[in-house]
């Protein structure tokens, strides 16, 4: 893609079973990578192709040298998916989490013949005051030393957070390690997502593909439920099964079933 190589994880069932179901492509939150979906792609990949993309600049993907826009991310990912053979004659379904939800919406709008259905979680739509506060507190690491100092300071908090969420070791360690691979570009995704936020409601209102809003108790549960009102050109279904913020690991099978049911439902 435009920034270089696009890294992804892929799981698929053996034989021709994979050809009978629409593939699903997953987009992670910033500044993580596709490893936060490691357990989920295994579950989804039992009866269909499941692909977890590293957003450009994160995980193993090459990325931009300047802060991109969500449109830039979506465009680069579209190039990568086309390189894998996906498009109008071979569409995919998408699932986006936090920053990934904005990438998924933008991809659905820019490539409507490639994207068949859209599942979202962690919808971030906030007041201008809250948005400006988030932007004012966003700090880009100045160097590797700065990044590692911040990592060491935050490690005890993250360790307790992942433990409370039921994310096993070494999975949570791999998530944290991958979150640092961008070094000084670690917060590019957050800034792109925040600056896209004022446009997000309007962009959601233009989506025509069927939409699933998957509620997780991750601090944005109510915002995710309320997002249903933005989808005025399509049917948006809210699924609230009591998933907590660690559900991609501690309830990966249940999350996969919810996504699978959405994918396989009659249009």
Give the global pTM.
0.96
CB-based burial label for 159 (10 Å; 0-12, 13-18, 19+): middle
Asked if 158 contacts 119 with a C-beta cutoff of 8 angstroms, the reply is no
In order of start, what are the domains of the chain with their CATH numbers? Answer: 8-264 (3.40.50.1820)
Q: What is the pLDDT of residue 209?
A: 98
List pLDDT tens digits, range 129-183: 999 999 999 999 999 999 999 999 999 999 999 999 999 999 999 999 999 999 9
Which band of pLDDT confidence, cut at 50, 70 and 90, is reported for residue 42? very high
221, pLDDT greater than 80: yes
Q: What is the pLDDT of residue 53?
A: 98
Q: What is the pLDDT of residue 14?
A: 84
Which band of pLDDT confidence, cut at 50, 70 and 90, is reported for residue 44? very high
List pLDDT tens digits, range 112-131: 999 999 999 999 998 899 99
* Strands, E assignment, the chain: 8-11, 24-27, 50-53, 92-97, 115-121, 211-217, 236-244
Asked if 39 contacts 171 with a C-beta cutoff of 8 angstroms, the reply is yes
DSSP 88: T
20, pLDDT greater than 90: no
Give the C-alpha distances (Å, rounded to integers) separating 86 from 27, 79, 100, 114, 220.
Answer: 16, 10, 19, 7, 31
Give the bridge partners for 25, in sequence order. Answer: 51, 94
Q: What is the pLDDT of residue 19?
A: 75
List pLDDT tens digits, range 62-82: 999 999 999 999 999 999 999
């Amino acid at each position: 893609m435009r920034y270089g190589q696009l890294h992804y994880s892929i799981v698929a069932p053996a034989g021709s079973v994979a050809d009978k179901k629409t593939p699903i492509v997953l987009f992670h939150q910033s500044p993580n990578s596709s490893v936060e979906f490691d357990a989920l792609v295994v579950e989804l990949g039992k009866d269909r192709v499941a692909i977890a993309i590293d957003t450009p600049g994160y995980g193993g993907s090459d990325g931009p040298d300047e802060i991109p826009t969500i449109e830039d991310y979506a465009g680069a990912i579209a190039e990568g998916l086309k390189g894998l053979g996906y498009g109008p004659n071979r569409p995919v379904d998408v699932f986006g989490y936090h920053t990934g939800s904005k990438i998924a919406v933008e991809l659905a709008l820019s490539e409507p013949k490639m994207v068949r259905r859209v599942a979202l979680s962690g919808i971030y739509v906030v007041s201008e005051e809250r948005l400006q506060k988030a932007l004012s507190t966003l700090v880009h690491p100045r160097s590797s030393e700065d990044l590692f100092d911040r990592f060491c300071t935050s490690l005890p908090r993250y360790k307790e957070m992942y433990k409370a969420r039921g994310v096993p070791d070494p999975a949570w360690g791999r998530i944290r390690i991958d979150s640092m691979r961008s070094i000084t570009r670690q917060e590019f995704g957050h800034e792109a997502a925040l600056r896209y936020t004022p446009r997000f409601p309007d962009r959601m209102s233009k989506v025509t593909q069927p939409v699933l809003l998957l509620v997780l108790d991750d601090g944005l549960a109510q915002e995710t439920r309320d997002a249903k009102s933005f989808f005025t050109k399509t049917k948006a279904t809210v699924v609230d099964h009591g998933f907590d913020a660690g559900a991609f690991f501690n309830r990966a099978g249940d999350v996969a079933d919810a996504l699978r049911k959405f994918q396989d439902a009659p249009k």
